[in-house]
Structure 1
Amino acid sequence: MKIKLVALSVFAFSCVFNAEAQKLKKFGSSVEKKVGPKTIKVPYTDVISYLGYASAGNEDEIVDGKKFYYIYLWVPAVAPELGVRMLSPVAKTKVKDAITSEEYTENASSSDYFDTYITLERSTIFTKEGVTEEAAKSATWTTLASNDDNSEMPKQPSGSSYNSLLRYKSEVGSPTKALTAGLYRIGFTTYKTGEVKGTFLAEVAAPIKLPGVVMAKTIEDLKKEL
């Protein structure tokens, strides 16, 4: 009986741990304020979410030996800051009004996940008319920020803080580092060399409303929404 009770307790603790691990807090900006004895990050005003599934062999590009996948983003106006975060696996995480890919729908119950590594990249394409697959391939892409592990994010099933989050403030005086209207992309891979496989939630956020932001896995899908 004691053995059964111990096993039951361990199981219950495991369930609680897993439930807690899937809670995703509001996406906070770099701006902080005091609320009583605590200092909190002021939540972003505008958040766009994308649910996807990365499968082995479907990478978009090999960069320094790593298999990179991209999600494209059209930003219609100047932004003071952009935040990007990625969670894998999605599991039972609840997300409102997310863009949901067919790949995610087909693999939503998958337990696969990966050690996320993300980048925010800006292109030299600044008009909607300039957004084409050929232009995206030939454009110059500048990496504005990157992140591997972030303790603000929920832990993965392994117990490690391997999910990612970055915040990038616009550098107004720099032609290449300012957050102007244009085509951006979120790059993601795994920190370790190997296959990227599993469900993921990618979110991009801003501290001001940006009507007309579009997010899609491919340039073709992006153009349909512009």
Structure 2
Amino acid sequence: MKTKILIVIAILAFGTTFNTSAQKLKKFGSSIEKKIGPKTIKVPYTDIVSYLGYAASGNEDEVKDGKKFYYIYLWVPAVAPELGVRMMSPVGKTKVKNATKSAAYTENASSEEYFDTYITLERSDIISKDNISEDAVKSANWVTLERNDDSGEMPKQPSGSSYNSLLRYKSEASNPTKALTVGLYRIGFTTYKAGEVKGTFLAEVAAPIKLPGVVMAKTIEDLKKGL
């Protein structure tokens, strides 16, 4: 009997280790295809900007459609063929190179709280760095280009549910309102389900070309410091 119990424990331990390693963040690739000889491959994202943050009740930016929305601002300095955005909560022990860390994240990095992420990619009508200000951002015209709730490409949350988010948006050069041009963008995030948005998160924005000068920040003040 003891032998059988030990075997079961060993199997469970192996399964737990396997599941943990399987939840690692995968490489972030684009949806753009390129033909190389007889093969067609997906063009990888070569430029990735990462941000580590912590969301909690009281530091939301806006209540929209009954949901508390939080924003991360993004300055895009050049025309891009595609932008990819993904968000994961909680961050846990995931290691991310060269990520910007907010003070709130540093203070709460060990938190095990997480939320069901829901993300949007929005573009404003601000196309010059000189026109960026708190008032200008509040009065800007924001257009939602893409959104995502759940993605099977992302690691599962501790609950076992695929509630992390990923979106890819291809520029429509022929349509000025849907083209990825130079300008101020923002990633909006909330939770799809009713309840508070609370926990650590990793947000990443990526492009299949180098975009020198991309700046990503939680506040307009911090964004302007990086421009």
TM-score bucket (shorter structure): over 0.9
2:48 match: secondary structure? strand
Specify whether residues 215 and 170 from structure 1 end up closer, same or farther in structure 2 by C-alpha distance, changes over 3 A only: same
1:6 equivalent in structure 2: 8
For structure 2, the residue ranges without an aligned partner over 5 or more in a row are: none
2:98 equivalent in structure 1: 97
1:19 equivalent in structure 2: 21
**8 Å contact kept, 1:67–1:196:** yes
How far the C-alpha of 1:4 sits from its partner, in A, is 5.0
2:107 match: secondary structure? helix
Deviations 1:91-132 (A, max 9, x none): 111111111111111111111111110000000100000010
**8 Å contact kept, 1:82–1:168:** yes
Counterpart CA distance in 1 for 2:40 and 2:11 is: 35
Counterpart CA distance in 2 for 1:34 and 1:201 is: 32
Query: Which residue identity does 1:27 align to in structure 2?
Result: F
How far the C-alpha of 1:34 sits from its partner, in A, is 8.3
Deviations 1:68-89 (A, max 9, x none): 1000000011111100000111
**8 Å contact kept, 1:53–1:104:** yes
2:130 match: secondary structure? helix
| Sequence identity percentage | 75
Say if 2:59 is the partner of 1:58.
yes
Give the RMSD, CA atoms, in angstroms: 1.7
2:49 equivalent in structure 1: 48
**8 Å contact kept, 1:44–1:207:** yes
Say if 2:114 is the partner of 1:113.
yes
How far the C-alpha of 1:32 sits from its partner, in A, is 3.8
1:67 equivalent in structure 2: 68
1:145 equivalent in structure 2: 146
For structure 1, the residue ranges without an aligned partner over 5 or more in a row are: none
Query: Which residue identity does 1:68 align to in structure 2?
Result: F
**8 Å contact kept, 1:120–1:145:** yes
Q: State TM-score, norm by structure 2.
A: 0.93
How far the C-alpha of 1:3 sits from its partner, in A, is 3.4
Counterpart CA distance in 2 for 1:115 and 1:33 is: 34
2:122 match: secondary structure? strand
Counterpart CA distance in 2 for 1:107 and 1:33 is: 42
Counterpart CA distance in 2 for 1:82 and 1:145 is: 10
